[in-house]
């Protein structure tokens, strides 16, 4: 096999409301935000189990459709393995963990949009090592369902995944993570943040609108698993001031 196909892993960024060498990597900083007992820190490989659980919540059945390709290798195992590795779409290098009263409760996974294509290809390489050639080729084949989906432009800071465990919602964690994403965008000299949100997640969509995000593109995808079967995605962008 002469080339490794790219791997799409679109996942709507929203608050959960149900039970090698990397160029231009974001600079990581420690955040301390309101409320005073909430802290945001860079993720480490030791957060893999927690991160896999939170990332899975943002993808649902779509994650199983993409990564549940090999009997005996769970979706959680694939996400955890990718998180522990460098240079892929869900690496710890691009993740931040929110802790409330010392307990880890949320996750932000975000990076410059200019890295997306490179990360897609590198994720494919990692999946070869995790799932094997046949299963990875199956993942590649089902990527055609995403058609012409655009997740982010090169001049945007892309919020790939954001999640807070349901029992910790309503305490400012999600808003703090969104504000932290804006901080990271500015550190990377980017003036826009972007995300995609699946149809049907109206509470999340309203919240994003309240903090300045606007729908700039809509992608209708009728598929039982893509966008969790909702029918498609809205792409939303916020211009930072």
* pLDDT, greater one: 147 or 190: 190
Q: Say what the pTM is.
A: 0.85
- How deeply is 227 buried, as exposed, middle or buried, from its count of CB atoms within 10 A (0-12, 13-18, 19+)? buried
Domains of the chain by range and CATH?
31-239 (3.40.630.30)
Residue with structure tokens 């807070």? 164
pLDDT tops 70 at residue 18: no
In contact, 78 and 20? CB cutoff 8 Å: no
DSSP 8-class letter at 71: T
What are the tens digits of pLDDT across the range 85-129? Answer: 999 999 999 999 999 999 999 999 999 999 999 999 999 999 999
**Closest to 16 measured CA to CA, from 181, 161, 166:** 166
* pLDDT, greater one: 85 or 32: 85
């Amino acid at each position: 096999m002469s080339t490794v196909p790219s791997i799409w892993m679109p996942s709507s960024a929203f608050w959960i409301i149900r039970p090698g060498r990397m160029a231009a990597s974001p600079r990581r900083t420690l955040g301390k935000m309101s409320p005073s007992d909430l802290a945001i820190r860079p993720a480490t490989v030791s957060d893999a189990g927690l991160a896999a659980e939170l990332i899975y919540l943002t993808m649902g059945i779509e994650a199983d459709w993409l990564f549940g390709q090999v009997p005996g290798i769970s979706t959680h195992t694939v996400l955890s393995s990718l998180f522990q590795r460098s240079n892929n779409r869900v690496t710890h290098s691009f993740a931040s963990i929110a802790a409330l009263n010392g307990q880890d409760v949320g996750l932000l996974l975000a990076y410059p949009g200019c890295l997306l294509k490179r990360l897609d290809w590198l994720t494919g390489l990692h999946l070869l090592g995790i799932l094997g050639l046949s299963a990875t080729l199956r993942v590649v084949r089902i990527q055609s369902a995403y058609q012409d989906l655009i997740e982010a432009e090169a001049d945007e800071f892309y919020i790939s995944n954001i999640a807070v465990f349901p029992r910790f919602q309503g305490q400012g964690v999600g808003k703090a993570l969104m504000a932290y994403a804006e901080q990271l965008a500015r550190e990377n000299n980017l003036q826009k943040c972007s995300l995609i949100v699946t149809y049907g997640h109206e509470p999340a969509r309203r919240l994003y609108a309240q903090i300045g995000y606007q729908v700039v593109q809509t992608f209708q995808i009728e598929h039982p698993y893509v966008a969790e079967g909702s029918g498609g995605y809205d792409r939303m962008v916020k211009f930072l001031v």
